[in-house]
Amino acid sequence: MNSICLMGRLTADPELKSTQNGVAVTSFCIAVDRAYQPKGQERQTDFINCVAWRNTAEFITRFFRKGQRIALQGSLQSRNYNDREGNKRTAYEVVIDNAFFVEPKNSGGGAPSAPAADSQLPQYNEAQPAFSNAAGGDFEEILGDEDLPF
């Protein structure tokens, strides 16, 4: 099984590009803090390279900016190549299948406000939190056990 879930901050604004065949793609890096922090040392951070294709690439470049937290789900892929000196190298990157909002809109994190067409963004309501994913599914918190279907 090859499944990866990550949550971190974008290190730069993602840019939408196209292949020669017109397929949308974006490559970006996220900074992910490690859970363990040794005593007397700063928390360590891993910088993870990611790539998203088609609608997922368009979604990420439209609604996410540098410094903003993002949750990602995808798979790890490796590829081999030769560098400029002819040495064999291996690159690892996470191919993103789904991207999710983590923070409420305009919550800081160094992210500027979203583009003007942000009316399609899910709205955050503190009274009754709703969580939305990139595919548009909505989930709401169930407060009491009596509402559970099992």
CATH number of the domain encompassing residue 76? 2.40.50.140
**CA–CA gap between residue 81 and residue 84 (Å, rounded):** 10
Q: Which residues, listed in sequence order, are joined to residue 13 by a DSSP beta bridge?
A: none
Please name which of 21, 93, 20, 28 lies closest in space to residue 57, comparing C-alpha atoms: 28
Q: What is the pTM of this model?
A: 0.67
Q: How many domains, the chain?
A: 1
pLDDT for 100 equals 96
- Coil vs helix vs strand at 118: helix
Mean pLDDT of 93-101: 97
- Please give the residue range of the domain that contains residue 33: 4-147
- Is the separation of the CB atoms in 76 and 49 below 8 Å? no
User: Under DSSP, is residue 7 helix (H, G, I), strand (E, B) or coil?
Assistant: strand
Q: How far is CA 95 from CA 12, 79, 108, 119, 124, in A?
A: 18, 12, 27, 28, 28
Tally of CB atoms within 10 A around 43 = 10
What is the average per-residue pLDDT within 41-68? 96
pLDDT for residue 38: 84
Nearest partner of 135 among 108, 106, 100, 86, judged by Cα: 100
In DSSP terms, 49 is beta-bridged to: 29
The pLDDT > 90 percentage for the chain reads 62
pLDDT for 146 equals 62
Q: What is the β-pairing status of strands 4-10 and 24-33?
A: antiparallel
